[in-house]
Amino acid sequence: IREELKKGATLRMAIRNGFSRATTTIVDANITTLITGVVLYAIGTDNIKGFAITLILGILISMFTAIFCSRAVFEIAERKRFIKGLRMRHLIHDTSFNFIGMRTAAATCSLILIAIGVAAIFVRGGDIFDIDFRQGTSVQILLKEPMPIANVRDRMQQGWSVAELRMEGYDAGTVYKIDTPLESEEDMHEQVRAAFSEGGKSLLETHTMQYSDLTDWTAALERSAPSVAFQFDDGLAPVAHMATLSPLPQRPQAELWAVADSDEYELAFQTENASTTDDSTAADTPESAADTPVEPAADDAAVTDDSTSSAKPSFRSKATIQLGQAVSAETVEEMVANAAASIGAPAPGVKLTHEGWDGVKPTAYNDWQISFSSSRDDTQKVLDAMQSTLNDTPAWLSSSKIGSTVASDLKSKAVRAVLVSLLGIVGYIWIRFQRIGYGLAAVLALVHDVLITLGAIALSFWLSSVLGFLLIEDFKIGLATVAALLTIIGYSLNDTIVVFDRIREVKGKSPELTGEMINTSINQTLSRTMLTSLTTLIVVAILYAFGGDGIHGFAFSLMIGVLVGTYSSIFVASPALLWMTKSA
């Protein structure tokens, strides 16, 4: 639009021609990025597929907005006379840089950076890979007191890697991620515990557990249960009466159990025939009813045998537990079962409740109310075993294991994803620009971007101690890094395709592509290139600074990729296109 206005076009024609000229470029740039998103979804793991879906939807919606919605807004505003003119500032005014003349210096600089990065990758070896791409185990530890990362590394064995994590709610220097080549999580936990033990005391934060309000359900009923009346209409004489409350296992087998709606306690009722009814009951019974023969109840389900009943277990005791770390109901059930097994007792049936829990979602809480099917004494033994175990167990924030087969499979998937993306991009650009040289030049720039980004990740091991104030840490290559690399591939192509489209436009029907044409094209699109790169860099920088540990390495890779991608679209892709065109 700005170029059309500069040529003297009216506002309406500038809007129409501007969008018409930009549509092809917008489609080309977004489709090449869409290729990487589709490859991510087809080859990636479940986590990467989630990112790929978001990327694909974002590209499609963005493309629709840029082509149709934005145009509609401008045209309506112009027709309704909401806007009578467009005044646009120039970030960079008309330039005439000789970019092709700088290609030798730029190539030398790129080769030096790539060589340093590749050397750093080989020096680091397998240590550069995250746990996703190598066999081993990983754990996140929580220290009682802050400790410098250098001291943490001194406690680790050869081949172990340490990274400090910044997590909300925890002090700096207390949370670390440790990757080990050990195959067993149990061995890894034991060795980490030994490494952080001084004078018989652990430096690791441990789980804590307290329990209270351990009571019998029947005792609670005797104290607070209201009187409850039931009417039985089973054709029998009215001879049922409330039995004396007593511990459930001591009751006869021929009992009727009526479970209260709250599921928190059970009342026992015993049916008796007329011959065993006490005097007071007999006196209150009408003679006609007493003389009537008692027929068996029609519904055999009214009387059940505990030994064969499939009804829910009767709860005999309850307690409230308080935990130092929030855990889910499923985890608490596992803890109860493990504690019972540790003392050689059968696992009791349990029911967990919490005022904020809906009974379905795996929400974690620090306190739980638990009903047990075991007696009060047996429940206390289980709770004591739980307390003893937890108070001696480090609070692992997370723990995972990757087998050799899984690691190898993930590596091969990552390599295939990158290669398939590059091949797809070459094919699409070849078709769109009708010459394979355009596709090969674009891919050469992409390989350049990927190598320099990987080199920056490798160098982060040494730079973290010097540039730690820039939030640089020991980054590794994992699944998130692969997603970042493919995103870089797609993004870097945006600027490259914009330049290539302008080169094709400037070249027109000329039989030969010259350096002057390329310089003109780059200078004409330089302002647009810098604007898009700057706005993208602002977003990625915010993501890097405030996005948290989970995407810190991903954001770092994107930052390097955005900077290098902007550089390569000017100093790598365009000179490579000129060289390939002349060679052909």
Sign, CA torsion 235/240/246/249: negative
User: How many beta carbons lie within 10 A of that of residue 106, not counting itself?
Assistant: 17
Residue owning tokens 């770092």: 556
Q: Could you report how far apart the first and last alpha carbons of the chain are, in Å?
A: 36
Contacts of 511 (CB under 8 A, 6+ apart): none
Q: Are 456 and 563 in contact (CB under 8 A)?
A: no
Q: What are phi and psi of 176, to 5 degrees?
A: -135, 150
Task: Please state the pTM of the whole predicted model.
Answer: 0.65
Instruction: Tell me the residue type at 319.
Output: A
Quickly name the fold that domain 2-124+404-583 has: Multidrug efflux transporter AcrB transmembrane fold (1.20.1640)
Contacts of 365 (CB under 8 A, 6+ apart): 326, 327, 354, 356, 357
User: What was the pLDDT predicted at 257?
Assistant: 38
User: What was the pLDDT predicted at 232?
Assistant: 46
Helix (H) or strand (E) holding 366, with range, is strand 365-372
Closest CA to 440 of 423, 454, 453: 423
User: What was the pLDDT predicted at 260?
Assistant: 38
Q: How many Cα atoms occupy the beta-carbon half-sphere of 435 within 13 Å?
A: 16
Estimate to the nearest angstrom the gap between the alpha carbon of 474 and the chain centroid: 21
Write the secondary structure of 458-471 as one string of H (helix), E (strand) and C (coil): HHHHHHCCCCHHHC
Q: Are 543 and 561 in contact (CB under 8 A)?
A: no
What's the pLDDT tens digit per position in 416-446? 888 888 888 888 888 888 888 888 898 899 9
Beta-sheet strand order (sheet of 398-402): 161-164, 175-180, 136-142, 398-402
Q: Are 351 and 336 in contact (CB under 8 A)?
A: no
User: What was the pLDDT predicted at 241?
Assistant: 45
User: What was the pLDDT predicted at 306?
Assistant: 43
Read off the tokens for 578.
């000129």
**Domain map (residue ranges) of the chain:** 2-124+404-583, 136-206
The burial of 172, by beta-carbon neighbours within 10 Å (0-12 exposed, 13-18 middle, 19 or more buried), is given as exposed
Q: How many Cα atoms occupy the beta-carbon half-sphere of 536 within 13 Å?
A: 22
Closest CA to 496 of 539, 541, 528: 528
CATH classification for the domain delimited by 136-206, as one of 3.30.390.30, 3.30.70.3220, 1.10.1740.10, 3.40.30.10: 3.30.70.3220
**Can you tell me the distance from the alpha carbon of 580 to that of 437, in angstroms, rounded to the nearest whole number?**
6
What's the pLDDT tens digit per position in 254-288? 343 334 334 444 444 444 444 444 444 444 444 44
Read off the tokens for 499.
């330049």
**Can you tell me the distance from the alpha carbon of 177 to that of 277, in angstroms, rounded to the nearest whole number?**
72
Which residues in the chain show pLDDT less than 70? 91, 158-159, 163-164, 166-169, 217-313, 404, 583-584
DSSP 85-141: ------SS-S----TGGGHHHHHHHHHHHHHHHHHHHHHHGGGGB-GGGSSEEEEEE
**Can you tell me the distance from the alpha carbon of 581 to that of 512, in angstroms, rounded to the nearest whole number?**
8
Estimate to the nearest angstrom the gap between the alpha carbon of 357 and the chain centroid: 23
User: What was the pLDDT predicted at 259?
Assistant: 40
User: What was the pLDDT predicted at 291?
Assistant: 47
User: What was the pLDDT predicted at 283?
Assistant: 43
Closest CA to 313 of 233, 217, 223, 409: 217
**Can you tell me the distance from the alpha carbon of 482 to that of 478, in angstroms, rounded to the nearest whole number?**
6
**Can you tell me the distance from the alpha carbon of 175 to that of 187, in angstroms, rounded to the nearest whole number?**
20
Instruction: Tell me the residue type at 220.
Output: A
Crossing angle for the helix pair 404-433 and 11-43, nearest 10 degrees? 150
User: What was the pLDDT predicted at 583?
Assistant: 65
Angstrom CA distances, 571 to 77, 500, 564, 565, stand at 40, 13, 10, 10
Instruction: Tell me the residue type at 341.
Output: A
Q: Are 95 and 526 in contact (CB under 8 A)?
A: yes
